[in-house]
Amino acid sequence: MMLTFATPKDKEAVMALYDLCFPGEHDYCEYYHNNFWQPERCLLAKEGETLLAMVNLMDVPMHCAEGPMEATYIFAAATHPDHRGKGLMGSMLEFSFGMGEAEGKDLSVLLTENDSLFDFYKRFGYTPAFSVSKVMPSEEPPFPMCKVRMLGEGDISKLEYLYNAGTGNRIAISRDAKRWKEILEEYNEHVFGLFDHSGENLLAYALMDAEGVHAAEVIGIGAEYLLWCCSMKPEEATGRSLPTGEGDIPVGCALALSPRAEAVLKNGQFRPYLNILFN
């Protein structure tokens, strides 16, 4: 077995392994690999020319109350079913830790595909760190005369402000204007905002799925009302928001790669937030 980084010629095999390990996500597989995939940050385990496993090591900026941090985001970690149980993913994660430390990274972070993976990642030093709260729709507006509309690129500064206001004191991935533009493109025509009566002040936003039922992220004052307004089926609607400490749902793990990050994780004063794929 050999560890190596991908080249553009590996793209077809990488996408095939993604489709095999994450069934039902082919459209997203194409979207990600056509727009964001960086072969030089895609670590592969190969035997000859056969792809056995892969993991994307995405560089992401993070922030917390103590200031900016740098992290490696572990994305699309996948092992071919015929080669599971051989320690391949463990070897790749250990390699990424050494690489992250050498690059001066503070954290290695990831979202879990399902709850059973928390125990798997604990074996490599990860601890459950990130969680979300569940939002249910409500017909009650936070203020009279609220307005709801679809959001676009002209609203990016408002989205940045609202996200930063909610996550500023938490460990969370930083989002700049470029990242917000990518999010708007990814959730094409399914990003909605709740405004006050003037139509100028953004109170809450929601990233809805294509079916208009589930909000992958809904943040702000009146999130429950916004979810009710922009859902195609309010009676079935749910949304994910910033953790509150009551009934939060664990969704991701973190591993400290620097003493500073270790101290921040142990603080626990503000609940870390990581939610929508690579944020």
pLDDT score recorded for residue 55: 97
pLDDT score recorded for residue 114: 78
pLDDT above 90 for 267 = no
pLDDT score recorded for residue 113: 73
Residue showing tokens 């056509």: 34
Residue showing tokens 């993070």: 62
The string of pLDDT tens digits covering residues 73-132 is 999 999 999 999 999 999 999 999 999 999 999 999 999 877 888 999 999 999 999 999
The CA radius of gyration of the chain, in Å to the nearest whole number, is 20
Task: Give the residue extent of every domain in the chain.
Answer: 2-131+247-267, 137-236
pLDDT score recorded for residue 115: 81
- Amino acid identity, position 78: A
pLDDT above 80 for 278 = no
Stated pTM of the model: 0.91
Q: Say if residues 52 and 79 touch (Cβ distance below 8 Å).
A: yes
Do 2-131+247-267 and 137-236 come out as alike in CATH topology? Answer: yes
Please state at what angle helix 11-21 crosses helix 26-35, rounded to 10 degrees. Answer: 150
pLDDT above 70 for 136 = yes
Under the banding of pLDDT at 50, 70 and 90, the label for residue 243 is very high
**What CA–CA distance (Å, rounded) separates 14 from 81?**
14
* CATH top-level class of 137-236: alpha beta
Q: Say if residues 161 and 175 touch (Cβ distance below 8 Å).
A: no
Structurally, at CATH architecture level, domain 2-131+247-267 sits in 3-Layer(aba) Sandwich (3.40)
3-state SS record for the chain: CEEEECCHHHHHHHHHHHHHHCCCCHHHHHHHHHHCCCHHHEEEEEECCEEEEEEEEEEEEEEECCEEEEEEEEEEEEECHHHCCCCHHHHHHHHHHHHHHHCCCCEEEEECCCCCHHHHHHCCCCEEEEEEEEECCCCCCCCCCCEEEECCHHHHHHHHHHHHHHHCCCCEECCCHHHHHHHHHHCCCCEEEEECCCCCCEEEEEEECCCCCEEEEEEECCHHHHHHHHCCCCCCCEEEECCCCCCCEEEEEEEECCHHHHHHHHHCCCCCECCCCCC
pLDDT above 80 for 277 = no
pLDDT score recorded for residue 66: 85
pLDDT score recorded for residue 269: 64
